[in-house]
Structure 1
Amino acid sequence: MKILFIKIKVFAVLASLSFLLAIPLLASAATFEKGVAIFQKKIRQTLSNSCLRKNNFGIKIYSLDRGEALIEMRENKLFIPASNLKILTTAVALQTLGPNYRFTTRLFTDGNLKDGVLNGNLYIKGYGDPKFVTEQMWLLVNELKKLPLQNINGDIIGDDSFFDHQKRIKAWTKNPGAQAYEAPLGALSFNFNTVQVYVSPGSKVGSRPEIIIEPDTEYTTLSNQARTLKSGTRNRLIVNRLDRNGFDEITVTGGIQLGQARAQYFLNITDPTQYTLSALKKYLGHAGIQFQGKMKKGLVPETAVELLTHESEPLMLALQGLNKFSNNFVAEQILKTIGAEKYGPPGTTLKGLQVIDDYLVGLGYSSEQYNVLDGSGLSRQNRLSPQLIIDILRHVHNDLGVYPEFVSALGVMGVDGNVKNRMRGVKSSGRARVKTGTLNFVSALSGYFQSRDGETFAFSILMNSLKCSNGRIKRLQDQIIKEGLNLQRISTGSIISEEQKNLSPTLNNPSH
């Protein structure tokens, strides 16, 4: 009887302990729900802004650690993504080409090189390098000089056959201007196929402004019809680029005030291959390599001998320029390269888009669930959903072979790229890695953020048909990210102690 009494007493004590141990789990669940509920309420309040009263947006915020959505509104609806489409291009590029892929630029000759003299033509063949810029041109010319080479007795011929000759995307506007963001495409390109024009006031009122074109090559000429104006005089300075069939003319009209700071303009060029050849000639001269021949386009003969191969920086670095500064030219060059590498040269936009289709089919999407016509997002005919972007972000996040390079290419809120001046002063802003997207009446923001608890989220916000200013819309987006950064499933000072957290497998393993 005594033994039975002891057993009953022990059972009662164990039952009491079990009840007490269960309390932290119940409390934690309640606290979790409270933290999420507060977050959801704040997000819905932000989205109730009058700018969005027509429900012209879609949003999804998804926990990558827990596999659950905290916010989803019109997540399957198709929207114009603007440059958020570059998220897709970047993911496909990393998967198809790999983070360490390098673009090449090759030099050949159909003659012979002896004692520093090349008797024959020099061929330069481009393979789509989107960042073949001044520094890379210098490196290539110095490599050539060290062969050694001092004199070229022949012509310089540019081979751009690795891509097709479609310089612009058909889905873009029909009458492009000289804007740098609409630079033409080409397998042999230089400095993003743009020039910089600097305009400073002249020495006195009525004099011509001082103008510098960089790079200054034979490819560009200058027509300066502008005037230096008296301080306080209102007049517009107009800098334009005109196609002169084989070269470009930079025209400057209007006026700039005396004492005004130097103005800077970026303009695109019209003939990438000829532009690159002119730049090559200039830098050959700087390196002391003599050349008196002609510059023209052509194909490298099958019998030509390769002199050297210049390699670009790794793709992972090119992707930083693509995303942090939303470079359309880089995106489209990479898309054509993807097409060439997957389906063979010449690289075309259509081949690149086929690789994108293949990727999205692999994610379980059918053609009616999206519409992609370029690699940059400049076309207003593109359509993506927040859900599709989330699925891309999830897929990349789960692949350690590409995720580090992918996330490092995104803009860091308040730190760099196009978002350097957003959320400045917010200490935790560096825990948000994002891609922006902007067109007329369109604004988008997608990427990753880490909450105060250390939980990682993927998010996508697509907004169309906007009637508010870009600044106002961006502040709404930033507020959503701020709330995400401050999200705490377990609030500071809650009744859940560290010992209780250690007893709870739910708290210690967020994936459960």
Structure 2
Amino acid sequence: MRRIALVCLWLVSSTLCVNAMAQEPWPGAPDELRRVLDGYNVKPGDVGIFVQALDESEPLLDINSSAAFNPASTIKLLTTWLALTELGPEWTWPTDVYVDGEIVRGVLRGDLIIKGYGDPYLITERLWSLQRQLRLRGIRKIAGDLVIDNSYFSGEAGDPAAFDGEGLRAYNVLPDAFLVNFQALSLYFEPDPARNRIRVSADPMPANLTIDNRLRAQPGRCGGFRNGVRLELEGNSRNKLIVSGNYGIDCERYVLTRSVLRAPTYAYGVFRSLWEESDGELGGTLRVQPTALLGRADDEEPFLRIESPPLSDLIRYINKFSNNVMSRHMFLSLGADVFGEPANRDKARRATQLILRQQQLNFPELRIDNGSGLSRDARISAGSLGEVLRAASFSPWWAEYTASMSLAGLDGTLRKRFRDEAATGRMHLKTGRLSDVYATAGYVHALSGKDYAVVILQNYKDANRGPGEEAQAALLRWVYEQ
């Protein structure tokens, strides 16, 4: 009888233990992380976590790591790793210039043709350098048109407002094979108390854009002034920017970055402005047309070619500062490299799967979409993103890859996080944030000397408004203390 009672007691206690384990929402999680997640009533299915030392075969912490989540901008870690793996750190993007006519006494008697290949970093200074090389080659005046060939990217035209209705925001800029200065305009608002007005200027100022300043100066506080400033494009060519609303006369100078012109129109306007600032002349206007339509041979040598900085430099801008359009350019370039031009998203997605198979990685849940994370459709699991980090650590380009991420408390998107504490500078991370999405992935260099791959993906209401950051901080500090 006593034996039966003991057996029954053992069975009951075992069942209770199994039930308790089944009900444990955060198995193995540190206390502070539990407190944060439980305090915000976060459901276990809304978070995926993966933590593993790079020299260990089993994870230190694994919570829901096989479930697919929206990773926001942390997907850039996959895009840049794919680019390093397939293209290499020395890869550059060319921009070719052709002349359609003779050059006589400084005058190009014809068109200047520029063919872009998706250079993600053709900033204003580099466009100025291109023009300087044209002048050194004897061109002072272009009698014909500026012809832009952006056909290397195919099917990427669309509505920049499609993602969130904010079509003028710089983060919504769409890829273009000849993209100048990220298609971005810096608008400067500068109060002039002596004249009771607000001056508005732009840099760069495209020659084909006019700014109609209707801002009203008013007394009062400066906080949240942007809610009172409105930007509107007008005209058949949408090349008139109306700035209206109210701005405090006692406010400081402020800079607002926006994208107000489409890529070829913007590129032409900036090219013309820079050219004329250096006493150059451009007699014609803009034409967007593939060079193949102009009867030029595919193997014709360009009049001038410039190369972008190497890929190893450019992935820093993508991961440290979360540059969406640069990431999308890099993603499209993968597709063209593997499957040939023109580049498009379908080729890039197929290239992604091919490279993953070559690296013996299988992510059945992966939906990389456009490669930037600015998407409601992108999906990956914490475990898969962790495997990317682990695979990268065995790559000859691991140093370049790690250096592309933000250093906690020092630079990039993490320059204001983990400052003045022991973990400052001991974490290389990529963050991601969308409405109801907060994600972090990267490497933590722990007190023990071990390096850990860490991923936390959070998809729940208001995750981006505070709870996600608290949970992230609790996890990262715990890993650092290992």
Task: Summarize deviations over 1:231-271 as a string: whole Å, max 9, x none.
Answer: 35997432324264544332211111111112221111342
SS at match of 2:74: helix
SS at match of 1:226: strand
Please give the alpha-carbon distance, in whole angstroms, between the structure 2 residues aligned to 1:136 and 1:114: 26
Deviation at 1:420, TM superposition (A): 0.3
**Correspondence for 2:473:** 478
**Correspondence for 2:25:** none
**Correspondence for 1:58:** 48
Report the CA distance shift for 1:454/1:468 in structure 2 as closer, same or farther (over 3 A).
Answer: same
Counterpart selection for 1:319 from 315, 321, 335: 315
SS at match of 2:312: helix
8 Å contact kept, 1:332–1:375 = yes
Counterpart selection for 1:186 from 176, 179, 188: 176
Instruction: Give the unaligned 5+ runs of structure 2.
Output: 1-27
**Correspondence for 1:216:** 205
Report the CA distance shift for 1:50/1:162 in structure 2 as closer, same or farther (over 3 A).
Answer: same
Report the CA distance shift for 1:86/1:245 in structure 2 as closer, same or farther (over 3 A).
Answer: farther
**Correspondence for 1:388:** 384
Please give the alpha-carbon distance, in whole angstroms, between the structure 1 residues aligned to 2:400 and 2:192: 47
The answer to whether structure 1 residue 459 and structure 2 residue 454 are counterparts is yes
Deviation at 1:462, TM superposition (A): 0.4
Moved more, 233-242 or 473-482: 233-242
Larger radius of gyration: 1
Counterpart selection for 1:73 from 59, 63, 70: 63
Please give the alpha-carbon distance, in whole angstroms, between the structure 2 residues aligned to 1:108 and 1:224: 39
Task: Summarize deviations over 1:43-98 as a string: whole Å, max 9, x none.
Answer: 65456442253122010110111222111110101111111111111111111211
**Correspondence for 1:9:** none
SS at match of 2:380: coil
Moved more, 172-181 or 342-351: 172-181
The answer to whether structure 1 residue 225 and structure 2 residue 200 are counterparts is no
Deviation at 1:447, TM superposition (A): 0.5
Task: Summarize deviations over 1:271-305 as a string: whole Å, max 9, x none.
Answer: 20121112111112222323222222122231576
Deviation at 1:151, TM superposition (A): 2.2
The answer to whether structure 1 residue 120 and structure 2 residue 110 are counterparts is yes
Counting only pairs closer than 5 Å after superposition, residues 432-447 of structure 1 correspond to structure 2 as 432-447=427-442
8 Å contact kept, 2:30–2:478 = no
8 Å contact kept, 1:128–1:333 = yes
Counting only pairs closer than 5 Å after superposition, residues 272-287 of structure 1 correspond to structure 2 as 272-287=263-278
Deviation at 1:223, TM superposition (A): 2.2
Number of residue pairs the alignment of both structures matches:
447
The answer to whether structure 1 residue 298 and structure 2 residue 289 are counterparts is yes
Report the CA distance shift for 1:244/1:102 in structure 2 as closer, same or farther (over 3 A).
Answer: farther
Please give the alpha-carbon distance, in whole angstroms, between the structure 1 residues aligned to 2:463 and 2:455: 20
**Correspondence for 1:418:** 413
Please give the alpha-carbon distance, in whole angstroms, between the structure 2 residues aligned to 1:211 and 1:172: 28
Q: Percent identity?
A: 26
8 Å contact kept, 2:209–2:269 = no
Report the CA distance shift for 1:481/1:46 in structure 2 as closer, same or farther (over 3 A).
Answer: farther
Report the CA distance shift for 1:59/1:259 in structure 2 as closer, same or farther (over 3 A).
Answer: same
SS at match of 1:444: strand
**Correspondence for 2:253:** 262
Deviation at 1:204, TM superposition (A): 5.5
Normalising by the residue count of structure 1, what TM-score does the alignment of the two structures yield?
0.82
8 Å contact kept, 1:180–1:194 = yes
Report the CA distance shift for 1:326/1:168 in structure 2 as closer, same or farther (over 3 A).
Answer: farther
Deviation at 1:178, TM superposition (A): 1.1
**Correspondence for 1:199:** 189
Instruction: Give the unaligned 5+ runs of structure 1.
Output: 1-38, 488-512
8 Å contact kept, 1:116–1:151 = yes
**Correspondence for 1:15:** none
Report the CA distance shift for 1:228/1:176 in structure 2 as closer, same or farther (over 3 A).
Answer: closer
Please give the alpha-carbon distance, in whole angstroms, between the structure 1 residues aligned to 2:460 and 2:359: 29
8 Å contact kept, 2:229–2:247 = no
SS at match of 2:69: coil
